[in-house]
Amino acid sequence: MTSRVVIVGASLAGVRCAEALRRHGHEGPIALLGAESHRPYDRPPLSKQFLAGVADHDRLWLTRADTALTDQEIIHHPGVTAKALDLRTRTVHTSTDSFAFDSLVIATGTSVRRLPHADAAPVFTLRTLDDAETLAPRLVEGARVVVVGAGFIGSEVASTARSKGCEVTVVEAAPVPLERQLGEAMGTACAALHERNGTRLIVGIGVASIEADGVHLADGSVIGADVVVVGIGVAPNTAWLEGSGVVVADGVLCDATCRVVDGGNGVVEGVVACGDVARWPNDRYGEVMRIEHWTNAVEMAEHAAQTILGGTEPFTPVPYFWSDQYSTKIQFLGRSTAFDEVRVIEGDPAAGVGVALYRKGDRLVGALGLNRIKALMGYRPLLVDGATWATALDHAGVAT
Amino acid sequence: MKITVDFDRCQSNALCMSAAPEVFEVRDDGFLYILIEEPGEEHRAKVTEAAMLCPTQAITVEG
């Protein structure tokens, strides 16, 4: 196959898709367009080891050798932002040139959401390498740091800031942090890590404004801050697809094989999406999902590459994510949306160690581990097999 | 096929163990153990997946 592939997005999904195309025998040109000026890099260390200053740039690069992409005849175009997609001429128009394609991979990822009325003060976000380089030198001993949003990124930034000796407060508008991801009980358990490690946690109160003196909350109180980090989620980068005929609905809508769908009932020939930007029906769960986790970007990039090369298999992963906070590794396998029961089957998650299982109907649908790496991974085969709840409890060695 | 792990990079996320439990094991001490350093061809697909899934690119497969 010698057709031209253009990949829009040079982060994890885009790079891994390019490499998978080569590994599976694609011989034609591959152009990898990245909006950022850097060599392609990995994001997980940005809120952890890199932000803490214990890992340098060498630990960030997505390819260990700096010639790895050119060695594979993958042409990386840094600093190129996609502006429009023309499906009639099969061309991507960008901030520099236009790129004609036979096959297109949409892997533009997400950008951080920002708070309105928060421009006057020392407000930071964390998504890119530039963000991390800007924030890291400000996390110094004694600095008063307020993190807005107790999601995974906010919590990791809080953890890193504590490790640097900062005085840290996390403010979360929702009554329970991580409730959408983990449910009320386990969200509360994970949030307890903050206070156990000397971080103040304020929940159920929104931010009214951020001023030069600090963060003003909806109840009128003010938290003094030298540094404010806003971590209130991300939004898919799809503005460049407006009017193209590609369906955008909180992400780029795909079919079960990662092919992008059109406005009718069909797919856009030769166009796939992968990573944070892609929304697709995961037949394993009977649910249309968009997943913003590292492992999904890798697995979906691999799958999208195979689809371009003629594969017809549906993409049906068991999702996985991890988060390192303080000295606790939080890991989750499976799906926690609309579960019927969560049961702690060993340890005590609220104390920072344990395993909890999630049931929906008569099935095991998810497993959460806090510092229980080996035990947690033991549930992955069960989740892959669609095991019943009874089978899961039997595996756990507890009675139904 | 020979497996080497850069333990300076390894963060014990155990994705390798989920892909190839016969070859990789993260124990309760939090460290990764390689159970078979030179696995046979029957393990190649799973070992390749393990290396691909490693978030820190700590696994190298040679041969």
Q: Where does the pLDDT of residue B50 fall: very low under 50, low under 70, confident under 90, or very high at 90 and above?
A: very high
CB-neighbour burial class of residue A341 (10 A; exposed 0-12, middle 13-18, buried 19+): exposed
Q: Given B12, B30, B57, which is nearest A64 (Cβ)?
A: B57
Residue A1's pLDDT is 56
AA letter at A137:
P
pLDDT at A64: 83
**DSSP assignment, residue A8?**
E
At B29 the pLDDT is: 84
Contact A309, A1 (CB under 8 A): yes
The per-residue pLDDT string of chain A (400 residues; one tens digit each, 9 = 90 and over) reads 579 999 999 999 999 999 999 999 999 999 999 999 999 999 999 999 999 999 999 999 999 888 999 999 999 999 999 999 999 999 999 999 999 999 999 999 999 998 886 666 689 999 999 999 999 999 999 999 999 999 999 999 999 999 999 999 999 999 999 999 999 999 999 999 999 999 999 999 999 999 989 999 999 999 999 999 999 999 999 999 999 999 999 999 999 999 999 988 899 999 999 999 999 999 999 999 999 999 999 999 999 999 999 999 999 999 999 999 999 999 999 998 889 999 999 999 989 999 999 999 999 999 999 999 999 999 999 999 999 999 999 999 886 6
Q: A302 — contact with chain B (CB < 8 Å)? A: yes
pLDDT for res A119: 65
Is B11 near chain A, with CB under 8 Å?
yes
DSSP code, position A291: -
Kindly list the residues from chain B whose CB atom is less than 8 angstroms away from the CB atom of residue A298.
52-53
What is the percentage of chain A residues whose pLDDT exceeds 70?
Answer: 98
Among all chains, which residue has been given the structure tokens 């609905």? A249
Q: Do A59 and B56 touch (CB under 8 A)?
A: yes
Q: Do A374 and B56 touch (CB under 8 A)?
A: no
Which tens digit of pLDDT belongs to each residue from A171-230?
Answer: 999 999 999 999 999 999 999 999 999 999 999 999 999 998 999 999 999 999 999 999
In whole numbers, what is the pLDDT of chain A averaged over residues?
95
**B9/A331 CB distance under 8 A:** no
**What ipTM was predicted for this assembly?**
0.89
Q: Exposed (0-12), middle (13-18) or buried (19+): which is A172, by Cβ within 10 Å?
A: buried
